[in-house]
Structure 1
Amino acid sequence: MFTSLFRAILRLLAAVLALHTTIRIIRHFHKFPMPEFLANLIDNPLRRRLQPPGEMPIRHGIEPGMTVLEVGPGNGRYTVELARRVGATGKVVTVDIEPKMIERVTQRAQTEGIANLEAKVADVYDLPFEDGAFDAVSLITVIGELPEPERAMREFHRVLAPAGTLAFSEALLDPDYPLARTLIRRADQAGFRLKRKLGNLFAYTLLFERG
């Protein structure tokens, strides 16, 4: 019985690995935003263990009173934690190209009584904000979805205040997972300097400052 169970587990793991590899290959050649119907699927216990929602704003260097831009909110679980972290004197603006995703986040904020959060549809390559409008830009498992990450980073550089922080968190389970050295190279090309690195191969956070 134990042998049969062990084999079943191995087959399941092999199937999951094969699916993950297939998705990574597809996503490598065909980048597209995460569909709204998958928002809850990626908000799973394993991800929350690797990237605890309540801890992520701290890992990203977010402080009370900051004005923060979040890109790619998913179902809003991490977004509301950002808003709680900045407090009543701060503000979070979250953007996504998918209107239904923005509707989902707006509804979550209303349900949870979050008043310092604005969710809007926007193109990450042409953000509708003034130069230096934000103290921080925060992305969690999002940058790998973008077909032109360097172009997006240049736009982040524009909307960040001179002393602002650009923060990325990535997890190996994400099909769009980039290696840390890849993000560091791309950020450097966009005018950023690495300020801090946290974590390991399985889940890491990178914080950058403007060069």
Structure 2
Amino acid sequence: MSHTVLAKPAVRWALAAGAVAAGALWFGDKAPYPYAQHKLLDLPLPYLTANRLDAVLRPRPGERVLEVGPGTGLQSLHVAPQLGPDGRLDVLDIQPEMLDHVMRRAERHGIANITPTRGDARELPFPDRTFDAMYLVTALGEVPEPERVLAEAVRVLTPGGRLVVGEFFDRHWIPFGTLHRLADDSGLHLAAHRGSALAYLARFRPCAAAA
């Protein structure tokens, strides 16, 4: 019995250490979901619904909008038709397989106003003041140095443009407090916030436009 009693604390410590190690690995893994896991990206996330994205992003006909990290196109296929034939949705991803997947789906749905670009969100390959809006849904945390992405958003948005960030509690999750601080440091003003601590959508505007 004495051996059993002595073993229990050791077992508890081992379990606790394992949980800490697993947590560190989970939160420390910031690599984008590989294309091999693309079916997971087709699952709608609780609270980050299409209607809620519409309410915060407010896409309008004729606008040019940038989506960073489109995954398999779950949001792309919803937003692009709202921009109309005179509007355009640019989708940017580091993985060409993801872009190919989005474009195949767009073709099947008869959506012709999506333009793919392979690139790094920290160095957007677009001129200044190109986009009326830019959005990232569960993508910002996959990019090293997210503050550089936010600074690039300020650069490529038109005066009065808007940036929408959607986050959900997963291994790439950015808490809202952290995002708000990074946005402030990048010259972005919070305009709207919807959701909970673990799943939210936030809209920002360049501070000069907000003023």
TM over 0.5: yes
Partner deviation per Cα, 1:71-109 (whole Å, 9 max, x = no partner): 000111111111012122211000000011111111111
Are the aligned partners of 1:71 and 1:142 in contact in 2 as well (CA < 8 Å)? Answer: yes
Partner deviation per Cα, 1:172-211 (whole Å, 9 max, x = no partner): 2x22111111101001111101111111123211100001
Q: 1:202 aligns with which of 174, 195, 198?
A: 198
Which has the higher Rg, Structure 1 or Structure 2? Answer: 2
Look up the match of 1:76: 73
Paired letter, 1:114: I
1:179 pairs with 2:175: yes
Most deviating of 155-164 and 34-43? 34-43
Alignment CA distance shift 1:63-1:70 (3 Å):
same
SS in structure 2 at match of 1:50: coil
Are the aligned partners of 1:71 and 1:95 in contact in 2 as well (CA < 8 Å)? Answer: yes
1:120 & 1:77 partners in 2: Cα distance?
Answer: 17
Look up the match of 2:143: 146
What is the number of residues matched between the two proteins? 189
Residues 23-62 of structure 1 mapped to structure 2, 5 A cutoff: 25-45=24-44, 47=45, 49-62=46-59
Look up the match of 2:15: none
Look up the match of 1:113: 110
Alignment CA distance shift 1:190-1:121 (3 Å):
same
Paired letter, 2:202: L
Among all aligned residue pairs of Structure 1 and Structure 2, give the percentage whose two residues are the same amino acid. Answer: 35
Look up the match of 2:120: 123
1:166 pairs with 2:163: yes
Partner deviation per Cα, 1:92-146 (whole Å, 9 max, x = no partner): 0000000111111111111111111111211112111110000001010011111
Q: Which runs of 4+ in 1 moved over 4 A?
A: none
Q: CA deviation at 1:27?
A: 4.9
1:67 pairs with 2:76: no
1:191 & 1:55 partners in 2: Cα distance?
Answer: 25
Alignment CA distance shift 1:30-1:41 (3 Å):
closer
Structure 2 residue ranges without an equivalent (≥5): 1-17
Paired letter, 1:166: L
Paired letter, 1:107: R
Partner deviation per Cα, 1:40-86 (whole Å, 9 max, x = no partner): 213225x1x42223542332222222110000001111111110121
Are the aligned partners of 2:175 and 2:198 in contact in 1 as well (CA < 8 Å)? Answer: no
